[in-house]
Amino acid sequence: MTDNRELEALVRRQLQASWTRRGFLGRAGLAAGMLAVGPGVLAACGSDDDSEGGGDGETERTESDTLRISNWPLYIDAETIPAFQDETGLTVEYTEDVNDNEEYFAKIREPLSRGQDIGADLFIVTDFLVARLIELGWLAEYDSANVPNKANLVDSLAHVDYDPERKYSLPWFSGFTAMAYNIDLTGEEITTTEALFDPKYRGKVTMFSDMRDALGMVILMDKGSLDDLTEADIQAAADRVAAAKDEGQIRRFTGNDYGDDLVAGNVAVCQAYSGDVAQLQLDNPNLRFVLPETGGLLFSDNMVMPTTTENIVGAEKWMDFVYDPANNARLTAEVQFIPPVQQTGEELEKIDPELAANPLINPPESEMAKAFVFPTLTEEEEVTYTDIYTQVTAS
């Protein structure tokens, strides 16, 4: 059934190409999508498991002629893969089958827990999932010596709490989770998270259904920081969203599909991802993206290798290739999220100066100051917080 999501992404791309001028929608296709919750799927969760795949020990130096990559839809340019293949002689099997972190996790959990191949040697998921996978011991350590361009990684992402030495992961792109608005409908510039709860926009607001993406910004508004996050903070923010929902303030809870309503003029203010907005503006020039004064979230998607990878050597070559500033600039020009490579800005200047000046791709210090990373949660916290917010979105 999960195959539907690939089909979905494909069809969606065609739809967008034919119905709108928008070539693609930033990164993913749709969030909570077509996964049919039937007995078969649920049964796949199994009951008992024993073998812990891999561990923290030495990773076996696997190598093969092909490199299998799983990524989010529309999260790459057309030239990177051919160029990489030419340079290395490897064949890349590239699949856009990551549509949602949790759904991808649901898909790989069972095989990885048994140490079985998941059909990918390298895949790209968001921070919190990387943290979880490292904790579970399901990711392979790579040899930094084989990735000299790793030195180009920006300092701010070099020492994250879940992978302080970046032994398991390398960022693919970063972005802001913040707000977008339609100036034509609001009639004014939006600068605060409060706007989401402003009765003026009743029924014209969408929020994310993902707990972190939705509540992080609300907690920042209430509390000013995400440090020392407690269940009470989450509960308070969730209550606030629930109240707004009950009043009809919130039109929908969305995944990556928020763009449709925004472009169509159904929505005035919404939570949004930074990389999408440049593309959405092509369809509706009245759209604006803002990091609210009280702050938004900074997320990163990361390249990681499962313990079952069959080509760790190729994966290292891949990471080194995309961390080359020129290669990275070309990728960035297409994807339009925040690149993790220091020199990309300069390279981008050569290709497209206008893009290089875009604060959403090359954010100045002042913007970065308003971006917060959602803290890594323990398993128990994660479950509790997610459950709290799901009570709001699924009722």
Partner 1 sequence: MRGTATGGAKRSRSAPYLLGLPALAYLGIFFVIPLVTLLKMSLSTNVGSVYEPTMVLDWHWANYSDAFSSYGAQFSRSFLYAGIATVLALLLGYPLAYVIAFRAGRYKNLLLGLVILPFFVTFLVRTLAWKTILSDTGWVVSLFDLLHVPMPDGRLLSTSWAVVFGLTYNFLPFMVLPIYVSLEKIELSLVDAAKDLYSAPWRAFRAVVLPLSLPGVFAGTLLTFIPAAGDFINAQYLGSAQNAMIGTVIQKQFIVVKDYPAAAALSFVLMAMILVGVLVYARVLGTEELT
Binding-site ranges for partner 1 (CB under 8 A): 4, 7-8, 11-12, 15, 19, 30, 32-35, 37-43, 45-49, 100, 102-103, 105-106, 109, 113, 132, 136, 202-203, 245-246, 248, 250-253, 257, 260-261, 264-266, 379, 382-383, 386-387, 390, 393-395
Q: How many residues does the chain have?
A: 395
Least distance CB 179 / partner 1 (angstroms): 17
Angle at CA of residue 114, ends 129 and 310, nearest 5°? 75
Least distance CB 125 / partner 1 (angstroms): 14
C-beta closer to partner 1: residue 37 or 145: 37
Least distance CB 309 / partner 1 (angstroms): 19
C-beta closer to partner 1: residue 127 or 324: 127
Least distance CB 19 / partner 1 (angstroms): 7
Q: What are phi and psi of 255, to 5 degrees?
A: -105, -135
C-beta closer to partner 1: residue 49 or 293: 49
CA distance 151 to 192: 37
CA 286 to chain centre: 25
- Residue where the block lists tokens 């195959």: 3
Largest CA distance in the chain: 59
CA distance 325 to 327: 5
DSSP assignment, residue 347?
H
CA distance 160 to 304: 14
Tokens, residue 283 = 């369809």
C-beta closer to partner 1: residue 184 or 293: 184
DSSP assignment, residue 97?
-
Q: Where are the beta strands (DSSP E) in the chain?
A: 66-70, 91-95, 122-126, 169-182, 205-208, 250-254, 269-273, 287-290, 296-304, 371-372
C-beta closer to partner 1: residue 268 or 331: 268
C-beta closer to partner 1: residue 163 or 260: 260
Tokens, residue 328 = 């990275």
DSSP-H helix ranges across 265-305? 274-283
C-beta closer to partner 1: residue 111 or 359: 111
Handedness of CA 301, 303, 306, 308 (dihedral sign): positive
Q: What are phi and psi of 29, to 5 degrees?
A: -85, -95
C-beta closer to partner 1: residue 87 or 184: 184
Contact 332, 344 (CB under 8 A): yes
Least distance CB 52 / partner 1 (angstroms): 8
C-beta closer to partner 1: residue 191 or 266: 266
Least distance CB 178 / partner 1 (angstroms): 20
Least distance CB 6 / partner 1 (angstroms): 12
Least distance CB 127 / partner 1 (angstroms): 16
CA distance 275 to 77: 14
Strands 169-182 and 250-254, how do they pair? unpaired
C-beta closer to partner 1: residue 250 or 333: 250
216 three-state secondary structure: helix
Least distance CB 260 / partner 1 (angstroms): 6
Least distance CB 342 / partner 1 (angstroms): 34
